[in-house]
Amino acid sequence: MAKIIPGKNSTKKDVITRKASALFRKKGFTATSMRDIAEVIGVEAPSLYNHIESKYEILKDICFRIARLFTSHLREVELSNESFLSKIERIIRFHISMMIEEFEVVYISDHEWKHLPESFLTDFKNQRRNYRSRLAALLQKGIDNNEINPINPYVAVLTILSAIGGIESWHRSGKKIDSESLEENMVHILIEGLKSQPLTMMHTRRENSLTSGNVIKSKIIKLPVGKTGSKK
């Protein structure tokens, strides 16, 4: 009869959540059974119910804890006194650090939230939408202030957040680079992609619409796509 032995400053529920996180990340929430979780802990499945209410509760706890963490960091940055570009950089770095250090839970909150029960789903999606709106608002202010290129802030948010989410594959495939370089390189790409270029730097791609808040819709190279693979 094995026992759940919690470390310092952590309840038995924490142990379950941590072990479950690793499985949810690796196999997905639905493909992970309570028996799977119990096994890695070294206990029988029904024993888990002495500490948790349901499988969904584990997922719910993870998702909302992470959401709370990001939201409160965002509030802090919003209130700080610094350039908008620097606010954005701080947020990017926070996301990267979280993705590096709290990989599994952040990944779950990013990819497994869709399995939340309906009651929590709506709440979570609202929080997510709200977070992205506020991030977009910061970007818009940076654009108005000529710190950031007049790109569409919605697209910028989407690009930033999902780029960072890709750190998952860094964890999965052998960490071919140290975490500091990873952070610096990714920050570099994203910030350079956002930053407004000095006026002397104007180049062909921006011959018009500098004031619109959207980059120009230039000609698009349409490529044959899909299984019916026709050339249009």
Partner DNA sequence: CTAAAAAACTAATAAGTGTTAGTTTTGAAA
Partner DNA sequence: TTTCAAAACTAACACTTATTAGTTTTTTAG
Site for DNA in 89-108 (CB under 7 A): none
Complete DSSP assignment for the chain: -------TT--HHHHHHHHHHHHHHHH-TTT--HHHHHHHHTS-GGGGGGT-S-HHHHHHHHHHHHHHHHHHHHHHHHHS-S-HHHHHHHHHHHHHHHHHHSHHHHHHHHHTGGGS-HHHHHHHHHHHHHHHHHHHHHHHHHHHTTSB-S--HHHHHHHHHHHHHTHHHHHHTT--S-HHHHHHHHHHHHHHHHBPPPGGG--GGGSS-TTSSS-----------STT----
Binding site partner of 163, from DNA, its own copies, none, Cβ cut-off 5-8 A by kind: its own copies
Binding site partner of 44, from DNA, its own copies, none, Cβ cut-off 5-8 A by kind: DNA
Q: In the set 22, 43, 121, 215, which binds DNA (CB under 7 A)?
A: 43
- The stretch among 54-62, 69-77, 191-199, 212-220 that binds DNA (CB under 7 A) is 54-62
Interface map 145-174 toward its own copies (x if CB under 8 A): ----x-xx-xxx-xxxxxxxxxxxxx--x-
Binding site partner of 2, from its own copies, DNA, none, Cβ cut-off 5-8 A by kind: DNA
Q: In the set 80, 184, 202, 207, which binds its own copies (CB under 8 A)?
A: 184
Which residues of the chain form contacts with DNA (CB under 7 A)? 1-4, 12, 32-36, 38, 43-47, 49-51, 54-56
